Each structure stands twice: as C-alpha cells, then as structure tokens.
Structure 1
Amino acid sequence: MEAIEINAGAWYLRALRADERIDDRPALAANGITDPEYVTRRRTQWAEESRFSWAVCEPTTAELVAEIGVTPRRDGTAEIESWALPGHREALDVAEPAVRRFAEGALGLRPDPA
C-alpha cells in the first residue's frame, strides 16, 4: 500500500520524507532518531503493510512536529505509538483520533484502547 495522507483539522499527516523538497531527518534527529535508513524503512513498512506511520506536520510549512504509527497484529488489533517534539503534544492529541479512525475504517483494525 502507498502512504495515505490524512487531514486532521489543524494538522496535516503525511509519510515521512527525506528528499529535495522536504527533509524530516533534522526533526527526527531532534527526537534522537539518527538512523540514516529510518525514513526508507518507514516507506518500506507501508509497502509491506507491516507498519503505517505519519509525520504530523504544520500545514503551512509541512514541518514535522510529531510522528504517529500503527502496527497491525495478526489478530486484527493494532498498537498505536507516537512521539512529539517538545511543545507539540497538542498535535498528537488531534492526530491520534484521526489515525484511530483510519486504522478502524480503512484498515479494518481494532486499535488498543487509548
């Protein structure tokens, strides 16, 4: 599956990127994620449908302020994990319900309770 973008009100959710237009690696590094293959791995996980992840971004700048991911389990449930840069917890408070709805409606998964 290709990555799906989600509009979560004041926040925009998109696939992680590291290209000539948008580079999420500095924001990832600010959260301690320095693996050079991290963005590539997340893209591969979408294709394999083994984990779905989104960069939670400022809609006007596309700057990553948080990441949220859904990891499906064989029993039809899913784990939702997230992190936010300091001062951006509210982005996850808005993004998580949208991602839960996507996991349930589009993927047919039952996310763990919040």
Structure 2
Amino acid sequence: MDVNGGRFYARPLRDDDAIAVAEAVGTSVASISQAREDWETDTAYSWAVCEQTNVNAVAIARYDMNTLEVVPVGDPERDLPNDPMLEPKKAKDGVAAGQEFIQRWIDGYLPSYREQTS
C-alpha cells in the first residue's frame, strides 16, 4: 500500500530496493522477502520512502506494530535529485517527512485496515 505524504511518498519495497535496504544503516528490515512476509502475516509493514519525482528510496521505513523507524539510505545530508523548479531536499528531509506522514497513516488508517483484512 502506498502512503502519500506530499513531497515524499512511501511505497512497498520492491526487489530492486535490496541495495537501498543494505545502505540503510540501522534498519530492522532484514530482506525484501522478509518484509513481504511480515506484511502478509500482519506483523510489520515496510516501505521505501521516495521523493515525488523519483522512484529511488531515500529512506527505509518499518512499523513493527509498536515502533515506527525511518532511516536514511546512505548519507542523510546528500542532496536529492529532483525537478529544478522544486525546493532542493536532502535525504534527511525524506526521513523527517516519512516519519510524520507514515505515523499519520498508522494513527488514522491502520486500525480500520487491520479490521478489514482480519
């Protein structure tokens, strides 16, 4: 499930996110396949946080039904490639935005989502 946060969005992890997961120091996402299994068994949810003009992960997010973690992929101070008409952003901006909008999804939507899928 995608979660839109305006300038940033979160999308489910894909096979080609394996490198991003490996570069996200401190993430508790063990692997893409484990993340999928966790989602299917309703034990944890994981996403790639991306800037709106790019599909590459700038952060990896995981919610384990208790704690939301959002960690940068690589250097949090790195500039993100984006449309020059938009305000420049850094990876750490994606982390902060992801923390905020995914937490809103957890607080506002997740209870009804879990009810519908159980």
TM-score by length of 1: 0.73
- Decide which of 55, 72, 80 is 2:68's aligned counterpart: 80
Aligned match of 1:63:
56
TM-score by length of 2: 0.71
Aligned match of 1:101:
104
Give 1:62's aligned amino acid.
Answer: V
Structure 1 31/95 Cα, relative in aligned 2: closer, same or farther at 3 Å? closer
More strand by share: 1
Structure 1 93/32 Cα, relative in aligned 2: closer, same or farther at 3 Å? closer
- Decide which of 1, 7, 10 is 1:13's aligned counterpart: 10
Residue ranges of structure 2 left out of the alignment (5+ in a row): 78-90, 112-118
**1:48 Cα offset (Å):** 0.8
Aligned match of 1:48:
41
Structure 1 32/83 Cα, relative in aligned 2: closer, same or farther at 3 Å? closer
**1:28 Cα offset (Å):** 2.1
Number of equivalent positions: 94
More helix by share: 2
Percent of paired sites with the same residue: 27
Give SS of 1:81's match: strand
Aligned match of 2:116:
none
**Once the two structures are superposed, what CA deviation does each residue of 1:31-87 show, in whole Å capped at 9, x if it has no partner?**
358xxx700110111111100111001222200110111111xxxxx2111210212
